[in-house]
Structure 1
Amino acid sequence: MLQLANTPASKNLKLSVLTAAILISNSALAEHNNNQLDKKNVEEVKVWGESKASDQADFTTPNSVLTREDFQSINIATTEDVVKFEPSIVIRRRFIGDSNGTMGIRGSNMFQTSRSMVFADGVPLHYHLQSRWSGAPRWTMVSASEIAQVEVLYGPYSAEYSGNAMGGVVVIETAIPQQREFHFDGAFFTQDFNAYKFDDSVNGFKGFISAADKIGDLSLYASYNHLNNDAQPQSFYYNTPTETDNPNTATGAYAGKSSTGDDVLYFSDSGVVNTQTDNLKFKVGYDFGHWQTLLNIAYEDRQSSSDSPTPFLEDLNGNKIWGGNVVVDGQNLTIPASRLAVSDMDRRSLSVGLRLKGDLNSNTSLEANLNQFSILEDQNRSSSVNPNHPSYTLDGQVSDYDDTGWTTAEAKLRFSQLGNTHLALVTGVRHESYQLNYSVYDSSNYAAGSKDTLTNTSGGETSINAAFAQFSWDINSQWDMAFGARFESWKSSNGYISEENTTTGNVEKAPVPEISAEKLSPKLSVGFSPNSDWQLRYSLARAYRFPIVEELFSQYQAYNAISLANPELKPEDGIHQNIMIERSLNNGYARINVFTETIEDAIDSQTTLLPGGGSVRTFSPVDETKAQGVEFIVNQYDFLISDLDMRFNWAYIDTEVISNSTAEGDDISPENSIVGNELPRMPHWRGNLMASYALTEKWTTSVNLQYASDAYGRTDNTDTERNVYGAQDGYTRIGLKTHYALNKTLKLGIGIDNLTNEIAYVAHPWPGRTVYFTLAYDLK
């Protein structure tokens, strides 16, 4: 059963539970509304998926639902903005247009990307091929402007989802056209940023256009989204002073601290990052009888350029220093020439999804989803040194993904009555296969993408076949139960890493042995409703998260980065528990969730920084980790006064490494053990507030707030320095937004994120103060 240890952290947790319980118990009497907000003044839209209410027997997983009415409080530039204020969620979007917008939910941090799932109209957006910053969901395959509803599911308590739902699932539904309509929206954004020696503004813009129609039973939709944005420097390069040979005298270094508190000299930033993203979307739906189909085609073309690193150092003649040994302020420093190299990235992706839903009879329905996601191109071209370096040539490096993507197929049967009206069943099967192939080449002309000599290559495949069944039982008017299980058969295959042929000196592929596993994950949820105003639910689940291709096979060495894979990783084995207490409010609800997550064989990815800014990444298992927390949530329309809508959540979480003997050995000294340490990138406290008030029928103004306490970025918890590059800082960010409808077709808006221009770091810097100017036009 769920237990909280008697530690200082758990005492804070218990106090949080007690405080939240008192707040709920003092709530005014309210009408029961099936735990769904009474949406007012919202244009009715048709979506495919429907969220579950907490008084239904098949409600096993705590959830949070957002509609277009809720979006009004958020400055939205890209899709991940929609969920950034939801309970116990963090989106690591370092700038608008960031391709590395990873997501963390509850006890799974933002770099444990394969512990969360994202679907849009049944199509997977989660990227379960890679982890850490490379494993961000493909958010841009759906545009923020087409979203009608979002539901966040917390934890793996439903047998319908795999162990990749250890953190949670984001379910996005877009509107299904019901008439001829045209939409356009545009935004201009500008950001102020001042850190280290960078002090400037960077700007960007977004344009979106869509057209849709409903012709009889046929619905058609097409859209185009363009984003172009300049971002603040993402890295600030430093080195520790040390003895060097034949140093040149220099000035301009920035003396500061590393995240571990060492005295270092910063010698450059990575420069402004320019990102351009184009998205094309086509949807074709057709209704025939009791059946509905939807064909979903999404194409992404993304380009990113990092070609303007700014060295801080100058020689005595005022010339910028791009590498070499220097002496500055009496301290010797080495500047790796490759650290200030330039790079360009091109990525093109295509996703095709097919969805089918219909009634087999009055009691049984079928839903099927197919998806093929393909990386058409994903190439990064890097110079060996900066073009301003005296020894610059076109020599460089080209890294490339080839034959990379996934295929998924799923079919579900739902029986609304199984023998009697009180028992229901959902059952189904699912297949997933993933393929990743990555190669690194030395190039004589990096700018042209010339691939001359293969230096590293690795890749492989994984597949999962699953079957599940979940029963829902309305025992009586007060009690309900859901119970089920998910069986999964997992296999890795065709894995390989680089191996140098000692005879020829050429790089060849060395095969990696196949491994497989079969696991059964039972689920249980029991609900109790003493009356129409209160809900109490206990959910228990086991979940297995299988290793992904990168963790098993991704082994390479590129400029400034080394990756070491681990082909013998076991599946993560999790026991998850959640107690939910909910009180219905007029036009809303108040809710407490208390949860624990115990994970065995947790796959931990750590990065060790090398001198000059390079890094080594490894994947290793941790015997056992634990996270326990509490969430307090209030969502209500007409909060206190009419036309004031409010969404508030506050969460506390305590994390710990329980055991790590497998990784560290039995004779590890206590001072070097990570047992008892906090898990990385997991702040104890998180909170969000969104409030929107309708000043008139045409004019709405909103305020939002994000808070997080600081955290560690390393499992050894040695990164204790705050407000420096590389740190995991806490933050308090205030946002404002107002929009005015000139008429039925045209709206204007202005918004601000990070009003106080707080500079904080999530290793890389979060954005500074950002101002938005928006325009939207609708014609129906």
Structure 2
Amino acid sequence: MFRHHALGGVSVVALQLALLQPATIAHAQPAGELPSVTVDAPRAAPQRPARKPAGQARRATAARASKPAATPQPAASPASTANIDGGGVKGSFETPAAKQRFALPQESFSITAKQIDETINLKDPEDAVKYMPSLFVRKRNDGDNQAVLATRTWGLNSSARTLIYYDDLLVSTLLGNNNSAASPKWNLISPEAIARVDFLNGPFSAAYPGNSIGGVLLITSKMPDKPFATVKETVSVMPWSQYGTKDTYVTSQTSASAGNRDGKLSWLVSANYLDSYQQPLTYTTISSLTSIPTTTTGAFPARSKTGTEADVVGTGVLAHSQQTSGNLRLAYDVSPLVQATYSLGIWNNHQVSTPQTYLRDANGQLTFNNISTFASGRYIWDQTQMSNAIALKSDTRGTFDFDLSASSYNYLQDAQLNPYTVTATGTGYSQKGKIARLDGTNWQNADAKGIWRPFGYDGPHEVSFGLHGDRYRLENPTYATTVWDQATSTGTGQLYATGVGETRTGALWVQDAWKILPDLKLTLGGRLETWRALDGFNVNTIQSAAGAITQSLVTTQPQLSATKFSPKASLSYDLNRDWNVTANFGEAYRFPTVGELYQNLAVGTNIFLPNPLLKPEHDYTGELNLERHWSDGRVRLTLFQEKTFDALISQSTLVTNNTNGQQVTQTAVSNVDAIRMRGVELSADKDNVLVNGLQLFGSVTYVDSKILADAKWSAATTVVGKRVPYVPDWRAKFGATYRPNESWAYTVAARYSGKQYSTLDNTDIIPHVYGAFDSFFLVDMKIHYNATKNFAFDFGIDNLFNQQYTLFHPFPGRTFVLAAKYTF
């Protein structure tokens, strides 16, 4: 306890001392380093370079030694936009707008709309980060609504350990920390509305909560200052052959965007329609306990990831999804220095899954053989969700600027209908069923931020601070129904299960970026947070084989609360005009989500259990960065270590029914006493290598992860010394893009991920089976052709060599991608 308060005291004292430095230091700042603007700033400004070269800074210092402290510059004409193409290739080496505006200490990686168009087979917004260092998106199919972003030290089910923003809207679903109902709302975003994507590493800024342990992803929309419109049609084709399923799955997507500036008002409208047929996402498996007549054929002998028998008898989820999304964004210049924005988004999904059985009876007819888990793969799922976001921001370049924002996300409709079981013979389903609902689930976020420049713009101190509040509400009942595919909103009114609850967080933060010398910057900050979990309520039932409720358990869960302080520190030094070294440290707390505490959920054959007594996880992260940069490239070496106490880790176990041998996956979250991840990340990106137009990019990441202690582990195996679940040891990406002229771009890229475990004791050692987490090596290619000023065409192949691999689910094989785009 003393140590925590001591760290907080050091940060506060250092901040106060920093503010007492004489104003004359302001005279020593580089000339021409104009104030930065956010994407939504009401005034155009030249892009500020990522770092002022040391030599140039010294020359500028000498030139300005006799001038008074910097003063605000007069406003130019209003502008509310980012570059439509995000700044092209060189734009990816520029400092992200949010990092400039709040002097954030994190290191960043970026990609622009032009680069995305030329190098990535983009079918969904999350595809944009495909080649960023250390990042991986668990995208199982086109239009996947459960695609989680994995980062350097956190894996495929850590949705609450990254923050993803689309302009002022948080699209991370901090209702849970999983890769199902808590996955980010990527589908709300139209791919053609993206101007650029920036990733900020680690929990090193006080401006973000502990959910930034993995990092912060910022997606910026195209807000034009002149008329523009685009329409794009993309088709992907994937032949598939695994077990008894042989088919070709096709996805078509239409994406459009348009916008303009009319005086003080800027606007952007975007829309997207996707029609996707998907490969099997799950398989139906049985153990040796399942009774199958000797005359029934078609099962594929197989093992589970831990080596037990898990014969494959058919698919589980085999889905067809139709999705529609639309966005409206308005920006109005209240004055030349103040701008208001409003964003509205809506997303609709209609998804139908019909499983395929491989079994045939003695007469050669298809049969489920009374295996009830086939019913979990048969469903009708309808979702309609809406977002709203408002903001008011100033850009005076003076002593003070403000940034006010609020957003909400609402589940207007979310209902999944399933039959309860299958018929005794044939391939029919019971009339009785269940309906799982998330209607009424919602969250709100509000932030009030300020920037104080006590010695004027470009002075030695830039103090940012803010207040934050959020509320997350979970409503997740599952009702019994008499006719499963014609169910009313509450079925019969009988509850099979429910999970209800709420979390609230309030925060106060402050951060000072102190330019001690022109080449040396110290950033100190702290975040004070108070958290509550309340209204927790669960109903669990036991049912007969026919769906009748035989026993009910109703639980009112206890309230939880916590107050935590998180200090941050960063020291950055420009060795010369080309080299920089930066050390970052951040302490962070991630509070349990409402889903981890209260949600009891069944998704297909996967069952998620609540744990209402979880503690916040406590994280210490440090890194050392050495960077060499050019105008069109950079190389960065990062050494990092992260230690987490009371880590919130989910465990999935294949559970076999001892009566009938049928299998389901059961997942629960617990606090693991201590884990540690450390390693190295090397990344490089350079344009015009050897010849003009040849861009090379790549990264290699090694993580040595280890479980240090887990006193609650009660199994016969041990977990101490084992690798942390879902964190691969190696990740690597490399590629090349050649642009011989303005019309053509050719890209070849590869991605590698090492073995990862999904169990705490690392007993899941069987690869290439359903449920396993395989290593993989994938090669992609793309040809981009600008036929005219308005027409562009793409041809690409993802997973060129058709590697079959599973990350629990079977992942896509070789996929051919064709696209045509017209710009008005």
TM-score strictly above 0.5: yes
Pairing 1:494-509 to 2, within 5 Å after superposition: 494-498=535-539
Query: Which of residues 373, 378, 384 is equivalent to 2:414?
Result: 378
- Looking at secondary structure, tell me which structure has more strand per residue: 1
What letter is aligned with 1:460? G
Residues 588, 636 of structure 1: 8 Å contact kept: yes
CA distance in 1, matches of 2:806, 2:144: 15
- 2:461 maps to 1:423: yes
1:44 deviates by 5.3
Deviation readout 1:195-229 (Å, 9 max, x if unpaired): 22222211010001222121111112212200011
1:34 deviates by 3.4
1:393 deviates by 3.5
Residues 707, 733 of structure 1: 8 Å contact kept: yes
Aligned to 1:238: 285
Unaligned runs of 5+ in 1: 1-31, 325-334
CA distance in 1, matches of 2:230, 2:176: 35
Match of 2:767, SS state, is coil
- 2:482 maps to 1:439: no
Q: Judging changes above 3 Å, is the alpha-carbon distance between structure 1 residues 360 and 509 closer, same or farther for their aligned structure 2 residues?
A: farther
CA distance in 2, matches of 1:558, 1:752: 31
Residues 360, 366 of structure 1: 8 Å contact kept: no
The alignment's TM-score, normalised by the length of structure 1, stands at: 0.89
Q: Judging changes above 3 Å, is the alpha-carbon distance between structure 1 residues 52 and 676 closer, same or farther for their aligned structure 2 residues?
A: farther
- 2:700 maps to 1:650: yes
Aligned to 1:568: 613
What letter is aligned with 1:397? K
Residues 457, 509 of structure 1: 8 Å contact kept: no
Q: Judging changes above 3 Å, is the alpha-carbon distance between structure 1 residues 514 and 527 closer, same or farther for their aligned structure 2 residues?
A: same
Match of 1:204, SS state, is strand
Aligned to 2:50: 34
1:182 deviates by 1.6
Aligned to 1:223: 270
Residues 64, 86 of structure 1: 8 Å contact kept: yes
Aligned to 2:222: 175
- 2:204 maps to 1:161: no
Q: Which moved more, 1:559-568 or 1:672-681?
A: 559-568
Deviation readout 1:214-261 (Å, 9 max, x if unpaired): 1111112212200011111111222221374x8452112111222112
- 2:300 maps to 1:266: no
Query: Which of residues 411, 414, 421 is equivalent to 2:451?
Result: 414
Pairing 1:716-755 to 2, within 5 Å after superposition: 716-755=761-800
CA distance in 1, matches of 2:325, 2:84: 31
Deviation readout 1:587-639 (Å, 9 max, x if unpaired): 11100111111000001111211233312221111000111111101112212
Query: Which of residues 116, 131, 142 is equivalent to 2:189?
Result: 142
Aligned to 1:394: 431
1:184 deviates by 0.4
1:721 deviates by 0.8
CA distance in 2, matches of 1:757, 1:54: 39
1:60 deviates by 1.7
Aligned to 2:297: 251
CA distance in 1, matches of 2:667, 2:381: 21
Q: Which moved more, 1:389-398 or 1:372-381?
A: 389-398
Kindly tell me the number of residue pairs found equivalent between the two proteins: 727
CA distance in 2, matches of 1:370, 1:560: 37
Pairing 1:279-318 to 2, within 5 Å after superposition: 279-287=325-333, 288-307=335-354, 309-318=355-364
Aligned to 1:8: none
Q: Which moved more, 1:186-195 or 1:691-700?
A: 691-700
Aligned to 1:615: 665
Aligned to 1:74: 120
Query: Which of residues 460, 463, 488 is equivalent to 2:504?
Result: 463
Q: Which moved more, 1:519-528 or 1:54-63?
A: 54-63
CA distance in 1, matches of 2:152, 2:52: 22
Q: Judging changes above 3 Å, is the alpha-carbon distance between structure 1 residues 438 and 42 closer, same or farther for their aligned structure 2 residues?
A: closer
CA distance in 2, matches of 1:80, 1:35: 29
- 2:392 maps to 1:347: no
Q: Judging changes above 3 Å, is the alpha-carbon distance between structure 1 residues 145 and 42 closer, same or farther for their aligned structure 2 residues?
A: closer
1:401 deviates by 1.1
Deviation readout 1:691-717 (Å, 9 max, x if unpaired): 221133212111111111121121121
What letter is aligned with 1:632? L
CA distance in 1, matches of 2:603, 2:190: 33
- 2:130 maps to 1:130: no
Residues 105, 205 of structure 2: 8 Å contact kept: yes
Q: Judging changes above 3 Å, is the alpha-carbon distance between structure 1 residues 745 and 294 closer, same or farther for their aligned structure 2 residues?
A: same
Residues 634, 686 of structure 2: 8 Å contact kept: yes
- 2:379 maps to 1:368: no
Q: Judging changes above 3 Å, is the alpha-carbon distance between structure 1 residues 179 and 686 closer, same or farther for their aligned structure 2 residues?
A: same
Q: Judging changes above 3 Å, is the alpha-carbon distance between structure 1 residues 764 and 699 closer, same or farther for their aligned structure 2 residues?
A: same
CA distance in 2, matches of 1:41, 1:175: 5
Q: Which moved more, 1:399-408 or 1:754-763?
A: 399-408
Aligned to 1:14: none
CA distance in 2, matches of 1:274, 1:124: 28
1:323 deviates by 2.3
Q: Which moved more, 1:192-201 or 1:312-321?
A: 192-201
CA distance in 1, matches of 2:670, 2:83: 50
Q: Judging changes above 3 Å, is the alpha-carbon distance between structure 1 residues 742 and 672 closer, same or farther for their aligned structure 2 residues?
A: same
CA distance in 2, matches of 1:142, 1:505: 45
Query: Which of residues 800, 812, 815 is equivalent to 1:770?
Result: 815
Pairing 1:551-566 to 2, within 5 Å after superposition: 551-555=596-600, 560-566=605-611
CA distance in 1, matches of 2:325, 2:310: 42
Deviation readout 1:432-463 (Å, 9 max, x if unpaired): 10000111111111112231121211110001
Identity of aligned residues (%): 26
Aligned to 1:544: 589
Residues 655, 678 of structure 1: 8 Å contact kept: yes
Q: Judging changes above 3 Å, is the alpha-carbon distance between structure 1 residues 652 and 35 closer, same or farther for their aligned structure 2 residues?
A: farther
Q: Which moved more, 1:642-651 or 1:417-426?
A: 417-426
What letter is aligned with 1:491? R
Match of 1:551, SS state, is helix
Query: Which of residues 709, 714, 724 is equivalent to 2:754?
Result: 709
- Considering only aligned residues, what root-mean-square deviation do their CA atoms show, in Å? 2.7
Q: Judging changes above 3 Å, is the alpha-carbon distance between structure 1 residues 514 and 418 closer, same or farther for their aligned structure 2 residues?
A: farther
Query: Which of residues 797, 802, 814 is equivalent to 1:757?
Result: 802
What letter is aligned with 1:377? Q
Aligned to 2:516: 475
Deviation readout 1:687-746 (Å, 9 max, x if unpaired): 112422113321211111111112112112111011111111111111111121121111
Residues 760, 766 of structure 1: 8 Å contact kept: yes
Q: Judging changes above 3 Å, is the alpha-carbon distance between structure 1 residues 499 and 144 closer, same or farther for their aligned structure 2 residues?
A: closer
Match of 2:146, SS state, is coil
What letter is aligned with 1:155? G
Pairing 1:6-45 to 2, within 5 Å after superposition: 34=50
CA distance in 2, matches of 1:484, 1:92: 33
The alignment's TM-score, normalised by the length of structure 2, stands at: 0.84
What letter is aligned with 2:478? V
CA distance in 2, matches of 1:285, 1:172: 17
Match of 2:126, SS state, is helix
Q: Judging changes above 3 Å, is the alpha-carbon distance between structure 1 residues 637 and 343 closer, same or farther for their aligned structure 2 residues?
A: same
Aligned to 2:65: none
